[in-house]
Amino acid sequence: MQKRAIFGGTSLPYLLLLPQLFVVAVFFYWPASQAVWQSFLLQDAFGLNTSFIWFENYSELFADAGYYRTMMTTGVFAVLVAGLSLSLALLLAVQADKSIRGAGVYKTLLIWPYAVAPAVAGVLWIFMFQPSLGVVAQGIRAMGWSWNPLLNGNDALTLVVLASTWKQISYNFLFFLAGLQSIPRAVIEAAAIDGASPTRRFWTIILPLLSPTVFFLIVVNIVYVFFDTFGIIDAMTQGGPSKATETLVYKVFFDGRLGGNLGSSAAQSVILMIMVVGLTAVQFRFIERRVAY
């Protein structure tokens, strides 16, 4: 690749970059810097008086047991959703990769949930599991299990985890299927001749060769849980009951929008931003290297 554009001087290249930089600046850097600025401010309840308070918003957050609980909830939520959706998607992809009758239909159907908007997905699931109306909830109750996601925190978390997992399986499935299809058939056949049982083949050949996909999806799934599950949580539980399903991003919304505490909300979003930057850095630096076997 020795193709290089030659520019006389530096003004034209900068000029050409300008629209892109403008878009990034307006839609990313400006709001981000606003958040950082906000996180250093304290506003009175009527928005009339604003004072600069340095890191007080942050120190207050880190002194708050509620914030750690939300962090824990988010952590548990992330591990459960990422773990469940990754393993289920992998299982489905491995099955779909076999030459079966109707594989095309099967694959298409598995991809559909991804096209459902998070809020709609939330409503769908709440309809099924709503304690007094839900079809599934009635079934569960008929089995003698007291099921009430509106009152029981664990039930609510289970429900949100299930809905979020269901929503994410399609995405993971697609990537796993593509990953599986890029493994040369002959390698699998060689392993079969080499006396590896299907299970052993999976653990010693297929999974190691899929590891780039797995690592990529882990990062994507964590980001998904951190941010994109907002719609599902908002539609299903609004973070309740008694904050049992409140994740970090939902708390940002709750404290800032409903609680009116813009400073704390901004500080929380800055912390979230740092987490995601960290995750992305890990993906680029560490994982991309491990990927090359």
Residue numbers of the site for other proteins (CB under 8 A)?
A: 184, 186-187, 189-197, 200, 204-205, 208-209, 211, 293
Q: How far is the CB of 87 from other proteins (least distance, A)?
A: 21
> Per-residue DSSP letters for 157-185?
HHHHHHHHHHHHHHHHHHHHHHHHHTS-H
CA 15, CA 193: separation in Å to the nearest integer?
60
Which residues does residue 51 pair with via DSSP β-bridges, in sequence order?
42
The nearer residue to other proteins, 188 or 266, going by C-beta atoms, is: 188
Residue 68 or 203 having the CB closest to other proteins: 203
Q: What type of residue sits at position 237?
A: T
Q: Please, which residue, 190 or 277, has the CB nearer to other proteins?
A: 190
CB 245: neighbour CB atoms within 10 A? 27
Integer Cα distance of 22 and 214 in angstroms: 35
Of 63 and 105, nearer to other proteins (C-beta) is 105
Q: Give me the least distance between CB of 290 and other proteins, in Å please.
A: 11
Do 202 and 94 meet the contact criterion of CB atoms below 8 Å apart? yes
CA dist., res. 134 & res. 126, Å (int)? 7
| Cβ-based nearer residue to other proteins, 160 or 191 | 191
Kindly give, in sequence order, each residue whose CB lies less than 8 Å from that of residue 160, ignoring residues fewer than 6 positions away. Answer: 77, 229, 232, 233, 236, 237, 245
Q: C-beta of 192: minimal distance to other proteins in Å?
A: 5
Distance in angstroms (rounded) separating the CA atoms of residues 76 and 172: 19
CB 65 to other proteins: min, Å: 45
The least distance separating other proteins from the CB of residue 101, rounded to whole angstroms, comes to 9
Minimal distance, residue 106 CB to other proteins, in Å: 17
- Choose between 64 and 288: whose C-beta lies nearer to other proteins: 288
In the complex, the smallest distance separating the C-beta of residue 89 from other proteins, rounded to whole angstroms, is 22
Which is nearer to other proteins, 50 or 181 (by Cβ)?
A: 181
By DSSP bridging, strand 50-52 and strand 41-43 are antiparallel
Task: Determine the Cα–Cα distance for residues 227 and 74; give it in Å rounded to an integer.
Answer: 10
